[in-house]
Amino acid sequence: MSLKSKVPGLKSPPAKRAAKVSQRQVRRPLASRLQPSDSDLPFVLVNMAMTADGKIATGNRAVASFGSARDHEQLLELRATADAVMAGARTVDTAKINLGPGGAKFRRRRRQRGLVESNVRVLVSGGGSIDPAAEVFQHRFSPIIILTTQRTPATKLRQLRALADEVKICGATEINFRAALRWLRARWGIARLICEGGGELNAALFRAGLVDELHLTVCPKVFGGRTAPTIAEGIGRLQLANAASLKMTSVRRRAGEIFLVFEVIRIAV
Ligand SMILES: NC(=O)c1ccc[n+]([C@@H]2O[C@H](COP(=O)([O-])OP(=O)(O)OC[C@H]3O[C@@H](n4cnc5c(N)ncnc54)[C@H](OP(=O)(O)O)[C@@H]3O)[C@@H](O)[C@H]2O)c1
């Protein structure tokens, strides 16, 4: 049974009602210590785990979960500070993930911070290739928003609209992430957004200069493999001067893993 059917006030048709209820709820202000952005964009964190050789999955994508229980706890801790969690289509349909807030402890922390119990979930699928049978769609505890483009065929668009609370077309062939994030903030009240990969989506956000903070867990494994993805894929930057520059703000070593936090340095133009 879906979780939504257990939540008082959220009856059929669930998607539409959830959108209305949660849209109002997520507009609640976030505690200032959590660094909400005061611009018209959300504060964006990228949170990833990588091997010692910088891979986020094996070359065949079969293994993408390799962090410790502590790393998973850290992921949920971070989600408990955010209005929304975002992920790309391949991350969502290659793993059994629901992008939700986790157990009662984390939901309680959210409430203490003035957040709604469950974060909004934002999925990115420029061509609409996301699998309608993906695990994320099986759990109806919070709104699901899909960002896509006009490349998505009409039939697919109809299918996604039936699955999600809102499908937003954010460009003709490429997603305009600046406009998309501005829309997420204005329409859904998302002031703090965590992107949990994969590499292609992260790269687009870095490229657009939209990432504020990178949280990285370095795990004691080596996958190797030319085709194994890294935290930022896409076409990348070809000149040092264009690389995203980071300032390390925290290093913690726990049980054989290193937890790093970097602030993205903004260059005034
Ligand atoms: N270790 C970790 O922390 C971690 C975290 C997350 C994921 N992973 C792993 O990483 C792998 C997935 O990474 P990935 O880089 O292959 O895929 P991804 O970024 O998760 O998803 C790629 C898909 O998302 C959509 N997308 C991403 N960026 C887009 C953009 N700029 N514009 C439009 N659409 C965009 C596209 O969907 P359409 O095809 O529909 O256009 C694209 O095919 C999986 O194996 C996953 O398990 C590991």
Which pLDDT value is given to residue 5? 31
Choose which residue among 55, 56, 146 to substitute to test ligand 1 binding: the one with the highest number of ligand atoms within 8 A of its C-beta.
Answer: 56
**Residue 193: beta bridge partners?**
44, 84
Q: Is 58 helix (H, G, I), strand (E, B) or coil?
A: coil
Which pLDDT value is given to residue 175? 97
Give the pair of three-digit tokens for residue 240.
């040092």
Cβ neighbors of 223 (< 8 A, separation 6 or more) are: 51, 53, 55, 57, 58, 59, 63
- C-alpha 12 to ligand 1 mean position (Å): 31
Which pLDDT value is given to residue 1? 30
49 lines ligand 1 (CB under 6 A): yes
Task: Report the distance separating Cα 35 and Cα 200, nearest Å.
Answer: 26
The model's confidence at residue 20, banded by pLDDT at 50, 70 and 90, is very low
The model's confidence at residue 255, banded by pLDDT at 50, 70 and 90, is confident
Mean pLDDT is lowest, of 61-70, 82-91, 125-134, 163-172, for 61-70
Mean pLDDT is lowest, of 71-80, 214-223, 258-267, for 258-267
Q: Is the pLDDT of residue 38 over 90?
A: no
Q: Is the pLDDT of residue 8 over 70?
A: no
200 lines ligand 1 (CB under 6 A): yes
Which pLDDT value is given to residue 243? 93
- C-alpha 106 to ligand 1 mean position (Å): 26
Report yes or no on whether pTM surpasses 0.95.
no
Which pLDDT value is given to residue 268? 57
- C-alpha 32 to ligand 1 mean position (Å): 31
Q: Is the pLDDT of residue 37 over 50?
A: yes
The residue whose two tokens read 């309680």 is 108
Give the pair of three-digit tokens for residue 63.
């293994």
Mean residue pLDDT of the chain comes to 87
Main-chain phi, psi angles of 153, to 5 degrees = -60, 150
| Helices and strands of the chain, counted as H and E runs | 7, 9
Q: Is 120 helix (H, G, I), strand (E, B) or coil?
A: strand
Yes or no: say if 124 and 147 are a contact pair by the CB < 8 Å rule. yes
- Shortest CA distance to 63 belongs to which of 75, 49, 77? 49
Q: How many residues does the chain have?
A: 269
Task: Report the distance separating Cα 196 and Cα 53, nearest Å.
Answer: 19
User: pLDDT (tens digit, 9 = 90+) per residue, 110-159?
Assistant: 999 999 999 999 999 999 999 999 999 999 999 999 999 999 999 999 99
Calculate the CA 181 to chain-centre distance.
12
145 lines ligand 1 (CB under 6 A): no
